[in-house]
């Protein structure tokens, strides 16, 4: 019977272990933490957005890096198969706005529990608190071949195939400390530079501190580098003491990290449903209703209260000025401001705050139909350790499930 070792008991590793066991292999799952799925536990704010129920075109459209590499993986194990697997494993699911799929219970722990039950059922041996130090390989006539792994406790574990599913380097406290990159590099693989992605932005403007905590709904965010627009999205975002966060900012960061060149700016449109002309009429109406009030006291219907002093300052209009003394030009430029609040990007936050790592083991040296290394035979990769990433909405976990399944299927295949 073939022996398969899976390094990493996260989303991709658990799926790979199950798929390899299904092929009739003896599977050993090694996890350095005291429990499985530590990162899975914190996904989707503890609710775990397991996948996205959209069609195949939508899955590919939401992958930001190397989507073509995922062709076999997505078609071999798609979102419907993951949903079917979880439901059958006793974790009922529901579909929410934007086709995001969550457990009915809203508890990520139920996803992990479903995997644990399946791993047990398939006879996978799980070893917790067990850290892999390095890969072992031998030089044979037909080339280099994996022979097993060396653990940090000095023990050796032999295997016919090894799956690296060690994740990226974001939220390292969950166990993803980038060990897989080192294993891959030592085996002769190229690792594409890693950058934090789906991550909040630092902004140069001081006013963010003043407006910190303001949550903006139904706004649009545009990201421009020089004159070139590289992102535009509609939805929710949050002003923080350092800049911006929330869904819109996270999505924008993915484009920024991949495509930004030179000085980049973000522009917030607080009233994207209105044209400049419509908004001007609306502001005029508001101003007429409060014509004897001071400017700073006439904006209650337009913005959240914490944003008012900021908008007043940015407008350059004297806050004490009576509304009926505001000139047409002043009003027009105020309207422009509401639809285009500028923010100067001062980089993104650290890996500690990033949902995902962009970069990783280059897919050029991995067979997309099997996930096997083209450099070291018997070695397979799955999940975030690979140079693959997607937008939010369940797509990153789908990458982990699909590549995990394909890697396990092939690593576990009997000769």
Ligand X SMILES: Cc1cc2nc3c(=O)[nH]c(=O)nc-3n(C[C@H](O)[C@H](O)[C@H](O)COP(=O)(O)OP(=O)(O)OC[C@H]3O[C@@H](n4cnc5c(N)ncnc54)[C@H](O)[C@@H]3O)c2cc1C
Nearer to ligand X, 153 or 305 (CB): 153
Task: State which of residues 38, 189, 296, 358 lies at the interface with ligand X (CB under 6 A).
Answer: 38
Nearer to ligand X, 113 or 211 (CB): 113
Residue 279 · residue 302 · CB < 8 Å? no
Nearer to ligand X, 42 or 265 (CB): 42
The answer to whether residue 394 forms part of the interface with ligand X (CB under 6 A) is yes
| Gyration radius (Cα) of the chain, Å | 25
Residue 171 · residue 10 · CB < 8 Å? no
The answer to whether residue 170 forms part of the interface with ligand X (CB under 6 A) is yes
Shortest approach of ligand X to residue 236 CB, angstroms?
Answer: 16
Nearer to ligand X, 7 or 363 (CB): 7
> Contacts with ligand X in 306-365 (CB under 6 A)?
355-356
Residue count at the site for ligand X (CB under 6 A)?
Answer: 39
Q: Candidates 25-33, 65-73, 241-249, 263-271: pick the segment binding ligand X (CB under 6 A).
A: 25-33
Q: Candidates 69-77, 135-143, 251-259, 391-399: pick the segment binding ligand X (CB under 6 A).
A: 391-399
Q: 325: how many CB neighbours lie within 10 A of its CB?
A: 12
Tell me the β-bridge partners of 101.
51, 95
Shortest approach of ligand X to residue 47 CB, angstroms?
Answer: 7
Residue 23: its H or E element: none
The answer to whether residue 384 forms part of the interface with ligand X (CB under 6 A) is yes
Rounded Cα gap, residues 385 and 373, in angstroms: 13
Task: State which of residues 25, 49, 62, 220 lies at the interface with ligand X (CB under 6 A).
Answer: 49
The answer to whether residue 220 forms part of the interface with ligand X (CB under 6 A) is no
Task: State which of residues 79, 176, 245, 402 lies at the interface with ligand X (CB under 6 A).
Answer: 176
The answer to whether residue 116 forms part of the interface with ligand X (CB under 6 A) is no
Rounded Cα gap, residues 189 and 226, in angstroms: 36
Task: State which of residues 116, 166, 245, 315 lies at the interface with ligand X (CB under 6 A).
Answer: 166
Nearer to ligand X, 54 or 394 (CB): 394
Q: Candidates 40-48, 62-70, 261-269, 314-322: pick the segment binding ligand X (CB under 6 A).
A: 40-48
Give the x-and-dash track for 124-153 against ligand X (CB under 6 A): -------xx---------------------
Task: State which of residues 74, 77, 171, 303 lies at the interface with ligand X (CB under 6 A).
Answer: 171
If we measure between CA atoms, which residue out of 8, 31, 84, 65 comes closest to residue 395? 65
DSSP structure string for 273-333 = TS-HHHHHHHHHHHHHHTTTSBGGGS-TTTS-GGGHHHHHHHHT--TTSBGGG--HHHHHH
Nearer to ligand X, 3 or 127 (CB): 127
Q: Which two tokens stand for residue 141?
A: 């006539």
The answer to whether residue 247 forms part of the interface with ligand X (CB under 6 A) is no
Phi, then psi, of 22 in degrees rounded to 5: -60, -25
Rounded Cα gap, residues 5 and 3, in angstroms: 7
The answer to whether residue 32 forms part of the interface with ligand X (CB under 6 A) is yes
Shortest approach of ligand X to residue 214 CB, angstroms?
Answer: 22
Q: 310: how many CB neighbours lie within 10 A of its CB?
A: 20
- Dihedral, CA of residue 293, residue 298, residue 301 and residue 306, to nearest 10: -130
Q: 168: how many CB neighbours lie within 10 A of its CB?
A: 30
Rounded Cα gap, residues 388 and 409, in angstroms: 20
Could you identify the residue written with the tokens 């309207």? 335
Q: Which two tokens stand for residue 78?
A: 């798609």
Nearer to ligand X, 181 or 287 (CB): 181
Q: Candidates 1-9, 213-221, 316-324, 406-414: pick the segment binding ligand X (CB under 6 A).
A: 1-9
Nearer to ligand X, 12 or 208 (CB): 12
Nearer to ligand X, 25 or 170 (CB): 170
Residue 254 · residue 65 · CB < 8 Å? no
Could you identify the residue written with the tokens 């070291």? 376
Specify the 3-state DSSP secondary structure of 405: helix
Task: State which of residues 54, 103, 148, 175 lies at the interface with ligand X (CB under 6 A).
Answer: 175
Q: Which residues lie near ligand X (CB under 6 A)?
A: 7-13, 30-33, 38-40, 42-44, 48-49, 131-132, 165-167, 170-171, 174-176, 179, 355-356, 383-384, 394-397, 400
């Amino acid at each position: 019977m073939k022996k398969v070792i899976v390094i990493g008991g996260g989303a991709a590793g658990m799926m790979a272990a199950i798929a390899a066991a299904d092929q009739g292999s003896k599977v050993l799952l090694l996890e350095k933490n005291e429990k499985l799925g530590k990162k899975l536990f914190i996904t989707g704010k503890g609710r775990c957005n397991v996948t996205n129920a959209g069609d195949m075109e939508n899955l590919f459209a939401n992958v930001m890096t190397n989507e073509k590499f995922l062709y076999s993986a997505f078609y071999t194990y798609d979102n419907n198969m993951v949903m079917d697997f979880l439901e059958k494993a006793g974790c009922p699911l529901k579909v929410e706005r934007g086709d995001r799929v969550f457990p009915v219970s809203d508890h990520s722990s139920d996803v992990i529990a479903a995997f644990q039950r399946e791993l047990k059922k398939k006879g996978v041996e799980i070893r917790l608190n067990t850290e892999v130090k390095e890969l072992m390989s031998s030089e044979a006539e037909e080339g280099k071949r994996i022979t097993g792994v060396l653990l940090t406790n000095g023990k050796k574990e032999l295997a016919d195939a090894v799956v690296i599913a060690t994740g990226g380097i974001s939220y390292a406290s969950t166990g993803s400390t980038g060990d897989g990159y080192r294993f891959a590099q030592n085996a002769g693989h190229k690792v594409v530079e890693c950058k934090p992605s789906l991550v909040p932005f630092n902004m140069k403007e001081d006013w963010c501190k003043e407006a910190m905590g303001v949550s903006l709904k139904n706004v649009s965010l545009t990201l421009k580098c020089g004159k070139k627009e590289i992102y535009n999205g509609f939805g929710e975002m949050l002003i923080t003491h350092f800049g911006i966060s929330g869904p819109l900012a996270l999505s924008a960061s993915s484009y920024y990290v991949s495509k930004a060149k030179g000085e980049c700016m973000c522009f917030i449109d607080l009233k994207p449903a209105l044209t400049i002309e419509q908004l001007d009429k609306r502001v005029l109406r508001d101003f007429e209703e409060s014509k004897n009030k001071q400017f700073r006291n006439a904006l209650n219907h337009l913005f959240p209260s914490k944003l008012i002093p900021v908008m007043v300052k940015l407008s350059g209009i004297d806050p004490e000025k009576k509304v009926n003394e505001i000139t047409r030009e002043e009003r027009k430029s105020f309207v422009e401001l509401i639809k285009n609040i500028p923010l100067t990007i001062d980089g993104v936050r650290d890996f500690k705050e990033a949902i995902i790592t962009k970069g990783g083991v280059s897919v050029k040296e991995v067979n997309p139909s099997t996930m096997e290394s083209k450099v070291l035979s018997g070695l397979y990769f799955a999940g975030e350790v690979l140079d693959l990433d997607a937008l939010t909405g369940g797509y990153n976990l789908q990458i982990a499930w699909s590549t995990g399944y394909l890697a396990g299927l092939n690593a576990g295949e009997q000769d």
